[in-house]
Amino acid sequence: MGGWFRRLMKMWGSGIIIAMGQARIGAGVVVLETDRLVLRRWLVSDAALQRKLWTERDPRVPPRRRIDADGRPTLNDLENRIRRGDPDASSGLLAIEQRDRGAVIGSCGLIANDHGQDGEPELAYELLRAVRGQGYATEASLAVVSWAEELGYRRLWATVREWNTASRCVLTKLGFVETTRVERDPIHGNSLFYMKDFSGANSTASVNGRNAPQRSGSSQMQSGASF
C-alpha cells in the first residue's frame, strides 16, 4: 500500500474520499453520482448483495474468490465484516446503486495494487449477472477513474483474466492499455495487466463524457474502494 494508502487516508481526513479499511465510517454515504448510478459506502444490509456476487462468479475464478465447501463466506460473515470495517469487507470498493430503483447491483472502486509502482492503485468492478451488458460497469468505472485523475494519480492499473472478454472491453472503453506483462495460470486462465496513464492521450478527457461523474452535494464530494 504505502504511498497510495497514505494519500487515501489524508484525503479521508479532509472529508473527501473513501479509504481502505474505513467501512464503518460514514456507512451509506454517497461518494459519486452519475446519470443512472450512485456509488456509496457499504451498509450491513448490502451483505446479501455481496454474497450473491460471490455465488455468481465464474467457476474459472480462483477458489479464494468463490464460496468454499463449507459455504463461506456466509451471509453472517459478510455482515460482520461490514460491521467491523474489516479491510476485506469492501477493500476500497463502493456499492453501485441504481438511482431510479435504489437497488444495489455491484461494486466499483480502487484497491491496493500489488503489481505496479507504489502509489498507483488498481481499478476493480463487479456486477450482478442480471444487469451486465447495460453499460453500468463502464459508467461506474468512468466515475471512479475520473475522480482518481482529479485527485492527482499518475496511473491506474487493472488485472483481468484473459477469458474475461467483457471486462477487457470495459477497460478498453475507459482508455486502459494492455501491457506486455502476463501472469501465466493454466488452471484459472492467464492474468493480463492493463494500465491507464493520465499524462497521455488516454486520459479520461478523451473518453465519452456522457456519464461524467458528479460529486454528491452539487459539485463537491460529500464528507465522509473485478474479478
**Does pTM surpass 0.75?**
yes
The whole-number pLDDT of residue 226 equals 43
> Per the domain annotation, does 152 fall within a domain?
yes
* Mean pLDDT per 10-residue segment, the chain (227 residues): 41 36 53 95 96 96 93 96 69 88 96 73 96 97 94 93 96 97 94 92 47 42 31
The verdict on residue 84 lying in a domain is yes
227 within some domain:
no
- Asked whether residue 225 is assigned to any structural domain, the reply reads no
Which residue range forms the structural domain that includes residue 188?
3-215
CB-based contact 156:174 (threshold 8 Å) = no
Q: Residue 2: which residues within 8 A CB-CB, separation 6 or more?
A: 118, 119
- In a domain, residue 223? The reply is no
Q: DSSP string of 126-184?
A: EE-GGGTTSSHHHHHHHHHHHHHHHTT-SEEEEEEETT-HHHHHHHHHTT-EEEEEEE-
- Could you tell me if residue 193 is inside a domain? yes
| pLDDT (0 to 100) of residue 29 | 85
Q: Give a three-class secondary structure readout of 24-90.
A: CCCCCCEEEECCCEEEECCCHHHHHHHHHHHHHCCCCCCHHHCCCCCCCCCHHHHHHHHHHCCHHHH
Domains of the chain: total? 1
- pLDDT tens per residue, range 170-208: 999 999 999 999 999 999 999 999 999 998 755 554 444
CATH number of the domain that residue 135 is part of: 3.40.630.30
89/222 Cα distance (integer angstroms): 22
In a domain, 151, yes or no: yes
In this structure, the strands spanning 122-127 and 93-98 are unpaired
Handedness of CA 193, 227, 30, 38 (dihedral sign): positive
| The predicted structure's pLDDT at residue 122 | 93
Task: Determine, yes or no, domain membership for 117.
Answer: yes
| Residue 214 pLDDT | 53
